[in-house]
Structure 1
Amino acid sequence: MIGVLIVVTTLVILFFIVFQKRKNQLLLDQIMQQQAFEAELSNAQTEIQEQTLKNIGWELHDNVGQLLAAASMQLNILKTKLNTEAQDNFSEASDFVKQSLKEVRMLSRSLNNEVVLNIGFEQSITNELNRLKKMRFASAELHVKGEVIPFNNKKHEIIIFRILQEFFSNTVKYSDAKNLAVILNYEQDKLVIKATDDGKGFNSETVEKGSGLLNMKSRAELINTNFSLQSNPGEGVKLQLEYPLNQPV
């Protein structure tokens, strides 16, 4: 009788252990499937966003750019028909149109990922900072530390650049900052990126999580990059990204 009880108890324990392992495996499979689905969804959203930006870039270059170029030509023609005093006043308007044309072309290039890849990661950031500096900043500088290591996956290069663009956009819209800085620190196995502004900042505990912040975070997660955005009122905003450089293509 005792032997039978021991056998039954052992079988019950074994059944429970097997059942628990099976349950845990099913839960793990479910979590992995959910993570894979979310990764595919984020990737699809990123691809759509990139195509949208590319289309906007084309529209700016081909349509708005051509209109501004035509306006510049017409102004130059009209300028020759004015007296000397009027030409001086007319020159300022003509210069504004030419500068606007230049800004539109620079912006259109920054929205096209093929152009970004062609001119390179560091130069693309420098071009963006130069454009922003002309708009409103006293300084907007890029500093590179360590030996530059190329990205294995060029899509990741574009994604990080878009995260920085989103940070720049938020700085322009909300920060009232005068200075903007980006540091690229190439370490042996990772790239540490720090972007800062000296604006009015915000309370990171209570700030509403808008689409810009969520977009930056989801893009970082998509490429296995540690994401940190910190701020306090009156202390500006600090973005830090840690990107593993040994990721496969």
Structure 2
Amino acid sequence: MEHEVILAATITLLILVMIIIFLFGIFQTRKNQYIQAEKHFEEEIAKSQMEIQEQALKNIGWELHDNIGQLLSIVRMQLNILHAKLQDDHKSEAADISELVGDCLKEIRLLSKTLNSEVIREIGLVRSIELELERFNKLNFLKATLNIHGNERPVKDKDEIIIFRILQEFFANVIKHSKARSLVVDLEYQSQTLVISAEDDGIGFNHSDVTKGSGLMNMESRAELIGADYAIHSAPEKGVKLLLKYNLKET
């Protein structure tokens, strides 16, 4: 009788353990499904936000190129007409103003290109970066340099735009906050990876002082969308370095 009680208790315990394991398995599966669904939902939100931002930038680019650019062209034309009517002692001043308006027109057209994702797709990542750095050099913001190592390889259109926007965000922070004198960008094409680094020699920052409005979170979330490894290093008076590693194998 005692053996039967022990056997029954053992069987009952085994059944309970199996039920617990089964329920735990169901719970773990549901948990993983929930995490995946949540991750997918967050990715979709991030993609939607990015698409909205891209459309806004495209619209701004069109406005700059078509409307503001056209107005400046008219202003320059009117200045040239006025130049012919002025006395000789005022002609040089009018010519200087006309040249300044021409420089503004070139700058706006250059800026409008880097805001339009369709233009970025057409000219490619490397040329887009070159245009951005050329603009900084022309405006004497700082000395900007681009170095390319290895043989250039294609990047997916959408990923190409995201990489460029990450760099644009970094460049904007450099111009606005770093007080840097130089900016160096390196693109290293390895067999399966594109390694991108961008580094300034500015005042740097303390990571504990970084706020959500700094743009760093935006860069990181964009990097996650394309599965790129993202890192940013800085310390006060040490400058800032951005490092991106993008998988070329899947392009």
Same fold (TM over 0.5): yes
1:123 matched to which residue of 2?
127
Say if 2:112 is the partner of 1:108. Answer: yes
Aligned-partner SS, 1:120: helix
Determine if the alignment matches structure 1 residue 175 to structure 2 residue 178.
yes
Gaps of 5+ in 1: none
1:4, distance to aligned residue in structure 2 (A): 1.1
Q: 1:124-163 residue pairs with structure 2 within 5 A?
A: 124-151=128-155, 153-163=156-166
| Residue in structure 2 matching 1:26, options 23, 26, 30 | 30
Deviation at 1:245, TM superposition (A): 1.1
Distance 1:106 1:79 in 2: 27
SS state of the match for residue 238, structure 2? Answer: coil
CA contact (8 A) 1:136 1:178 kept: no
Query: Please, what TM-score do these two structures have when normalized by structure 1?
Result: 0.96
User: Is the partner of 1:136 in helix, strand or coil?
Assistant: coil
Residue 199 (structure 2) pairs with residue 196 (structure 1) = yes
Amino acid at match of 2:129: I
CA displacement 1:190-235 (0-9 Å, x = unmatched): 1110001111111123222325122111111111111111111111
User: Retained in 2: the 8 A contact 1:76–1:94?
Assistant: yes
Matched, 1:6 2:10: yes
Give the secondary-structure state (helix, strand or coil) at the position aligned to 1:80.
Answer: helix
2:225 matched residue in structure 1: 222
Equivalent position amino acid for 2:183 in 1: L
TM-score if structure 2 supplies the norm length?
0.95
Tell me if the contact between 1:191 and 1:245 (Cα under 8 Å) persists in the aligned partners. yes
**Number of residue equivalences:** 247
Match of 1:95 in 2: 99
Does 1:184 pair with 2:173? no
Is 2:19 the counterpart of 1:15? yes
**One-letter code of the match for 1:111?**
L
Select the residue among 40, 43, 63 that pairs with 1:39: 43
Say if 2:167 is the partner of 1:164: yes
Map 1:62-81; keep pairs closer than 5 Å.
Answer: 62-81=66-85
Seq. identity, %: 46
| Runs of 5+ consecutive residues of structure 2 not aligned to the other structure | none
Amino acid at match of 1:230: H
For the pair 1:209 / 2:212, whether they are aligned, the reply is yes
- Deviations along 1:74-130, whole A, 9 cap, x unmatched? 000000111222111221111110000000000011111111111111011001100
Moved more, 229-238 or 44-53: 229-238
Tell me, what secondary structure is at the counterpart of 2:144? strand
Q: 1:240 aligns with which of 240, 243, 248?
A: 243
Conserved? CA contact 1:137–1:180, under 8 Å: no
* RMSD, aligned α-carbons: 1.1
- SS of 2:208's equivalent? coil
